[in-house]
Amino acid sequence: MVAELIRQQVDVSFDDMGVLVDENLGVEAFILDWNLDPAPPPFYLNVADRRFAYSGETLLVKGHGAKFGRIVQDHETAGRLALFVERAGRLLIYVHDPAATEDDEE
């Protein structure tokens, strides 16, 4: 069944990720390459005791939509952290909100 293939959450470290740089805005963000993993990306990523949730938003890796720096700045201004997962030519946006409660823990 498809639901069984989707992992709810995955633990990763910053060592598993690369860094994206928006030189125009001077913004950096972590990126996890999920292109070689056959399973769909999880809904949650646990990184260094922080839980990042998939925001439901994506950007193109290349082209006009690849301007991720403004999204990172917008989240940081709101007190959140953002990171990205690359999958099939898209950047999936994951967000950690320290003010959010984790009410769906299993």
Count Cβ atoms below 10 Å from residue 20 Cβ, excluding itself: 19
Total structural domains in the chain? 1
The verdict on residue 7 lying in a domain is no
The predicted model gives 15-38 an average pLDDT of: 94
The verdict on residue 12 lying in a domain is no
Domain that holds residue 67: 19-96
Q: For residue 102, what pLDDT band results from cuts at 50, 70 and 90? A: low
The verdict on residue 102 lying in a domain is no
User: For 65-93, what is each residue's pLDDT tens digit?
Assistant: 568 899 999 999 999 999 999 999 999 99
- For residue 65, what pLDDT is reported? 58
Q: For residue 1, what pLDDT band results from cuts at 50, 70 and 90? A: very low
- For residue 92, what pLDDT is reported? 96
Residue 3 has pLDDT above 70, yes or no: no
The verdict on residue 46 lying in a domain is yes
Q: What is the DSSP letter of 41?
A: P
Q: Are 93 and 66 in contact (CB under 8 A)?
A: no
Residue 45 has pLDDT above 70, yes or no: yes
The verdict on residue 103 lying in a domain is no
pTM: 0.86
The verdict on residue 70 lying in a domain is yes
